[in-house]
Amino acid sequence: MSRDTRIAVDPASTDAVLFDLDGVITQTARLHAFAWKEIFDRVLEERAAREGEDLAPFDTEEDYPEHVDGKPRRRGIRHFLASRGIQLPETADEPGLASVEAIAEAKNERFHELLDEEGVTVHEDATALLDDLAEAEIPAGLFSASRNARRVLAAAGLGERFDVVVGGIVAADEGLAGKPSPQTLLETARRMVAAPERCLVLEDSAAGVEAARRGGFGLVVGVDRVGHAQALADSGADRVVASLDEIDVPVRDPADRPDALAADEILERVDRHRPVVFLDFDGTLSPIVEHPDRAAISDEMRAAVARLAERCPVAVVSGRGLDDVRERVGLDELIYAGSHGLEIREPGGERTRHGVAEDLVPALEAARERIEDELGDVDGLVLEPKPFSLAVHDRQVPDGQVERVRGTVEAVAGESPELRIAPGKRVRELRPDVDWDKGRAVEHLLDQLDVDPRHTPVVYVGDDVTDEDAFHALPQGIGVLVSGEGRPTFADYGLAGPEAVRAFLDAIAGTLEGPS
C-alpha cells in the first residue's frame, strides 16, 4: 500500500505558511515571461543589427525558468545576457536598451501594460488553501522577488490575505540578497515571528526552493504547474505537488465532530467487515498524568482491550518506547509500535527498528546532556529519555519558566540538523529527522496484515497532535480524537476521554460478538 501523497499541515507545529507569488498564487508568471521575451528579443535584434551576430531569441519555456524566474530583476538580466555571451554596463547615457538598468525599466513598463490589458488570474487552489489556513488560524506570509508584488496582490483582490508581504521593493530597501539566498524568506519569517524550522514554504522556482532549503525551513514544497518537477526536486524540495489541492489543513472543530459513541454508522461498518483497531496510549488508554512514569491503564480498560483483541487485530501505537508501552498495557496478544513507530513488534512477533534512527541516538544523547546543563535549575522540568527520542515535559514548570524551556529545546534542535521537534500537550519531543511517524507506522502494519483500508474498516483512536499523522494517513478510515478541548483535526469523530474510549471499544466488541 502506498502512502497518501497529500501533505498535512499540522497547526500545532506550524508557525506560518510562506507563499511565493508568481506561479504559486497568481498566473502572472506568464505575463512576466512574455514581457521578458519582448524586451530581450529587442536587445538581441539590436545586437544583431549592430554586431552582425545571429543569437537565439529568448525562449519562455527554457530561458525564463533557467535565468530570470524567482531572481531579482537585474540579476536575471545579467544571467540571461551572459548565456548569449553579452555583457552590458549597469547604466549608460546612450538611448535604447544599452544597459542593465534600461532593460529592467523597459521590462517593468511592459509588464505593467500587460497587467492592465489582461488583469491578474489567481489560481483557485491558492485561494482555497488561504481560506483553510485562515479558518485554522495559521498565519500566511508572502515573499517575492517582484517589485510589483503589492500591485499584483491588489489587482488580484488579495491585498488583505497575508499577515506579512516582503516583495522586491522591501528586499531592495533592506539590502536583502535575492534567491537562491535565503535572506528574503528569512526576513518574511522574522517579521511573522515564526521559526523557519516551523514554517512550510511554497515555491515554484528552483532558485526559491534552494533558498528555502538553505534557510533551514521545516518543509519545502515545490509547486510544479509547468512540468519542471525534477528541477524542483533536484533543488531540494521535500515534496513536489502539481496543485495546492494536495495540501490539507485540518479545519474541523469540535462542533463538527460527531460523538463516536453515538455514531451508529461506525458499528454498521465494523459489523459488515471485521475491523483493525489502532490505539494510542497516553490520554487514550491511560489518563494524562503530571509525571509520565505514573501513567497506567485501568483493569477495566485492559479488559475492554483484551475483549476486542479476541475478535479483531488490535495495535497500540505510542510515543513511548516499545518495551515501556508493552509493559504498561500488559497484553501480549496485541501488536505494538513504540517510539512513534520507529520500533515495532510485528503481527508475527518479530521486532524491527528503524535503521537510520538508530544511527542518530548519539545526537539525542548529546541533546539531552546539553538540555540538562542549561535547564538543570528549572523546577518541575521532566526529561523523559526514550529509545529514539527525548521528551521534555513542562507541565509542572512555573509559567514564568515555560518560554525559557521551550526556547532552549528549539535552540538545541536548530543546532542539530539531524533532529527535529514534535510538539505535544505541554511537551516538546526531540526526534531523529527521518521520514517516519505514526501514520507511516500504521500503513506499515496494515501492509503486514494484508489489509486494504478501502475495503476493511480501520479505526484509529488517539488524543495527541502526533496522532494527526495517522488520521491523515487513513482518509477512508475512522479517526477518533480523544479530547475535551477544541483544536483543528483530521479525525472524523470525537470522544471525551479514556472512559468514553473504554465504552467505545466495548461497543465495537459487542457488535463483533453478534452474527456477522
Q: What angle do CA 483, 487, 491 make, to 5 degrees?
A: 70
DSSP string, 64-121: IIIIITTS-HHHHHHHHHHHTT----S--SSSSS-SHHHHHHHHHHHHHHHHHHH---
Active site residue 280: yes
3-state secondary structure of 384: strand
CA distance 374 to 392: 13
CA distance 442 to 280: 11
Residue found under cell 529527522: 433
3-state secondary structure of 141: strand
Q: Is 197 left (phi over 0), alpha (psi -120 to 50) or beta?
A: alpha
Residue found under cell 499584483: 152
CA distance 275 to 271: 8
Q: What separation in angstroms does the CA of 491 have from each of 73, 275, 507?
A: 46, 17, 19
Q: Judge contact between 387 and 338, C-beta under 8 A.
A: yes
What does the buried/exposed string (b/e) look like for 121-139 if buried means 16 or more CB atoms within 10 Å of the residue's CB? ebbebbbebbebbeebebb
Q: Could you count the other beta carbons within 10 Å of the beta carbon of residue 94?
A: 9
Q: Judge contact between 43 and 228, C-beta under 8 A.
A: no
DSSP string, 26-39: BSHHHHHHHHHHHH
CA distance 147 to 151: 9
CA distance 509 to 308: 5
Helical (H) or strand (E) element with 272: helix 264-272
CA distance 501 to 121: 49
**Catalytic one among 132, 204, 280, 394?**
280
CA distance 312 to 374: 48
The C-alpha cell at 283 is: 490520554
Residues annotated as part of the active site: 280
